Structures are given as C-alpha cells and as structure tokens.
Amino acid sequence: MAWDSFKRIRFRKKKEMPGGLWMRCPDCGKSVYKRAVEERGQVCPECAFHFEITVWQRIEHLLDPGTFEETATGLRSTDPLGFIAVRAYAERLESARRTTGLEDACVVGTGKIGGFKVVFGGSDSRFLRGSMGSVVGEKFTRAVELATELRVPFVFVSGSGGGARMDEGVLSLMQMAKTSAALARFDQQGGLYISILTNPTMGGCMASFAALGDVTIAEPRALLGFAGPNVIKNTIRADLPEGFQRSEFLLEHGFVDMVLPRVEQKAMVIQLLDHCRIPALA
C-alpha cells in the first residue's frame, strides 16, 4: 500500500471504559459490577459478602419510606481526658463529623416497619468504627426510654468494630452498664428488643446492648465477640475452631437466634412484630 493511501486511513479512537462501574470484593477478590452489588443491598453477587453500609442506608433498607424521624439530636462527645494517641481525640472527632455528616457514631429515631411503629437506631462504622462513647450510650438509652414511653418495639442495628471508645476512659465503659440497665427496665415493662448484628460487632458493644436482644439476628459471616480471635489465640496459646466468632458458629452454639442475609431482614422483622402482636399504627 502506498504511503499516501495509508495516511488517509482513519483509525477509530478506542473508547474509554466509564469509571466507577466495577468494584473489587475484599472477600473473594473478584471484580464485580457495582450495580449488581447495589441491587443486592450492597452484597457481593459472587460470594455473598456483605459490604459495610451507612446508618442511613440501613434506615432506607429496613424502614418504610418516609417514616423515619430522628430524635436525640444535638449531642456531641467532648474530650474529658485531653486524650492524644497518634492524633488527638478532639481532632479525630471533628474529622469524623466532617467526613460523615454525623454528630456521633449512631442515629436513633422513630419510624415504621411494615406499618408497625418502632423506635429504631443504628451505628455507623464510618464514625470511629461505630465505637461507643458517652454520646452513643446516651442516644441508645434515650431511644430505649422513648420505646418504653411509646410502648413500641425497639430495633437496633449494631456494627461496632471499635467497641467501647477508650479515648473517653470510664465515661465510655460506664455506657455498657447504662445501656444494659435501660434494656432491663424496658424488658420489665414488656418491651420487645430486636438486635441485628453486622460485621464486625465487637468489644464493649458486643459485651452489652448488642447481645441483649429478645431476638438476635446476625448477618452471614459477621465477626462477633469481645476480643478478636487473634487476641484470644495468643492469650490461650491454642488453635481456635474453624469459623470461631463468626455468626454461623455462634448460631450453632445458641448465641444468636438466626443468620439472615440483608435482603431478608425486613421481612423477618415484620413477621416478628406481627407474631408478638405489636399493634400496627396507620
């Protein structure tokens, strides 16, 4: 072919693949179509790994549209110890507020699930891993007291990889007793508490309110416990059973009542509310 003729050939420009269409699953390592993950409630279509989601996504997923009304707002943790580790606690709090738009690591309020009036709350792992400081304990307690006052069920979704927030010292640790006592009073009044555990729910949260549900539902393969498996293994210097502290293992040993994929949780909560004859409010 003559050079002049070759120069006249027009080559089609390679189309660029639009960004943000694919994501990598941290569990199976496969690249998965982002929309397929979203359609499954942020669950991997290849291995059923449950991605962490925000508290607002939990509300959208579990509550009837447009029914949630937030309560116990305007509460912010202080820095009573002037605690400094790698970064100052006050600086970490302010950074978390800016990046998440949350006042602290949990949101509580009223809403409806399948037409049943409930008090609902959930922790958000984006805010210091969903850990429990004085504000989280206070908001949880106020939510339980509101459910007691309204005589409606209380549903809380836990996702705390940080447990009790040691940056606040004893003020954080006392929230374990405070939230547990509130739930004990709620139980004495005949209240129904449904606890939903997600990956991971650990530390002081798991050692208090998260484990006290009348019905406890866990997401598949969620890590649940007080200390992590590596800490336990190094402490007792023994190999742990396969799947130790995962939700399926704990179901076999009676620690949780059921393990349910995210997409099935709302239907089950509605069945529980109906079975317990909680009056539906129009």
Domains of the chain by residue range: 19-51, 52-275
Chain-wide mean pLDDT for the chain? 89
270 near 114, Cβ under 8 Å?
A: yes
Q: Which of 14-18, 26-30, 129-133 comes out lowest in average pLDDT?
A: 14-18
52-275 CATH pick, 3.40.50.10800, 3.90.226.10, 3.40.80.10, 3.80.10.10: 3.90.226.10
Which pLDDT does position 136 carry in this prediction?
96
Cα 217 from chain centre: 12
Rounded distance between C-alpha atoms, residue 63 and residue 58, angstroms: 8
Q: How far apart are CA 187 and CA 154, in angstroms?
A: 11
- The pLDDT, as a whole number, for residue 40 is 85
What are the φ/ψ torsions at residue 162 (nearest 5 degrees)? Answer: -100, -10
pLDDT of 201 = 92
Task: Report the chain's C-alpha Rg in angstroms.
Answer: 23
Q: Summarize the confidence of residues 94-110 as an average pLDDT.
A: 96
Is the predicted pLDDT of residue 184 greater than 90, yes or no?
yes
**Is 266's pLDDT higher than 70?**
yes
Is a pLDDT exceeding 60 seen at residue 198?
A: yes
Q: What is the pLDDT of residue 281?
A: 46
What would the pLDDT profile of 116-127 be if each residue is shown by its tens digit?
999 999 999 999
Higher pLDDT, 232 or 188: 188
Whether residue 235 has pLDDT greater than 70? yes
Look at residue 14 and tell me whether its pLDDT is greater than 60. no
**3-class SS of residue 147:** helix
pLDDT at 162: 77
